[in-house]
Copies of this chain bind each other. A is one copy, B any other.
Amino acid sequence: MTAQATRTAFVGATLIDGTGALPVADTAVVVGDGRITWVGARADLEHAPDLRIVDTGGKYMIPGLLDANVHLLIHVDPDVLLRYAPGCYDELVLEAAQIALRAGVTTVFDTWGPLESLRRVRDRINAGQAIGSRVFCAGNIIGNGGPYSADFFPNLGAGLSSSVVEAINRHWEQGVGAALTWMPAADVRVAVREYIATSDIDFVKYASSSHAHSRFLALSPDSQRAIVEEAHAAGMTVQACTQSPEALKAAIDAGVDLLQHGDVTGLHPMPEETLDRIVERRLPCVAFLYTQRHTTAFLERKPQWHGNDAWGEVMMVKDLNDRKLVKAGAMLLLGNDMGVYGPTAETSPMWGPFQSGIPDVPTHLGRSHIFWLRAAIERDMAPMDALLATTSNIAQAYGRLDELGTVEPGKRADLLILDADPLADPDNYARIAHVVKDGELVDRDRLPEHPVLTR
């Protein structure tokens, strides 16, 4: 994983560079020192003795994929977490980062997780001490409690000692948990400033909607504005978790840079006025797209979410919003709470109803992005737009377009080389010839190196 001394040329592929430009056949891309140094026609490539040639003739090259909403540790059931001392989940996080990388997702944005493990794994990968997707992380969703708190999955912690529950939750909460929802906005500002200053996070996420009781606002518009100002003052992008029309509007009013599942608006469709604002401002919006066959199976099952037995209706409203957003040309991003689940998730009181015996489960890191892409096509998104939703749109939304998201000189050399045209069929994103990260060919067969959940 040390930087390459020599340069490598990927020669012959049809390039879809992620800028929205049309595909170009017979290209060559040169990488060196982890970056793209040259992009051009194959015919124009200057050969040199130290230039390693990788033949990609007949293949398709696109930017390494990004995922705007993952949770590298999401299978937070006791049988997983209690194997470790609280907070020491590095091997689970790394496993997930490697599963993502194997699938060509070279960059992930972790939007809720155990910060200490996330940071350690992120830093080891960045330092070349470990292999895996490039990780950016938010730590906690400001205003929410940890995994076994009332905001998330209290039923999973129902049989645990309260001291154990608290020790675990603390690793997610990081001092900006549910207590902030009780605070006046001025106190929220102070707490968030402290968090940003000390936590070594990459971006900020907060709860506009209550997570479990999603028709309520978790943080007031004043508190939201304070958070956005603090994030921006620190040079970070900031995003909000929204689940209702008013929470969505509050987040937009507060000035967020990214709407996390802005397509989920509960029992009421997104107002036209809000839709217009999202489109006109090109406000990046992660959409929770599900394939039609998943949606159908899901609705038959009448699942509950946090005891909400109208969840099916929420999903139908979401789908209506998705179709409108696509049609209006909103700037949508791939993301679906993807993470890695072990086999016990099949019978988990939390995950079983959502994952067991149902097709196209949208939340499996390394697989479900294909379902997302298919769902996008089903909803009439243009194939090129779907590609942008998984590449440059995300880089732009997170303020990383100078480094990531397209195949252009000067960018990080993250490339996904496919055996078939991804614009022809979303399944072709899974027909991987090579994954290149930081200019190096990934040995996909080795990943994950130390499988735990996927053993």
Contacts and interface: CB of A to CB of B under 8 A. Distances in A.
Contact of A347 (B161, B245, B266, B344): B161
A interface SS class: helix
A179 to B, nearest CB: 7
Contacts of A49: none
Interface string A250-282: 100000000000000011100101100000000
Interface stretch (A101-109, A184-192, A409-417): A184-192
A37 interface: no
Contact of A82 (B78, B156, B244, B274): B78
A185 B250 CA distance: 11
Interface stretch (A23-31, A91-99, A198-206, A208-216): A208-216
Contacts of A160: 77-79, 159, 348-349
Interface in A341-358: 343-349, 352
A162 B244 contact: no
Given A210-B213, A221-B221, A268-B187, A345 B161 contact: yes
Interface string A139-171: 000000000000000011111111110000000
B220 A249 contact: yes
A159 B161 contact: no
A324 to B, nearest CB: 15
B162 A159 contact: no
Interface in A232-247: 244-247
A245 B187 CA distance: 11
A301 to B, nearest CB: 13
Nearest to A350: B159
11 contacts: A78-B159, A83-B83, A158-B159, A158-B349, A181-B215, A182-B268, A183-B246, A184-B245, A187-B268, A221-B221, A223-B246
A158 B161 contact: no
A352 B161 contact: yes
A178 interface: yes
A271 B222 CA distance: 14
Contact of A245 (B155, B182, B349): B182
Nearest to A342: B161
Contacts of A186: 271
A218 interface: yes
Interface in A340-383: 343-349, 352
A217 interface: yes
A345 to B, nearest CB: 7
Contacts of A348: 160-161
A250 B159 contact: no
Contact of A162 (B157, B183, B271, B347): B347
A331 to B, nearest CB: 22
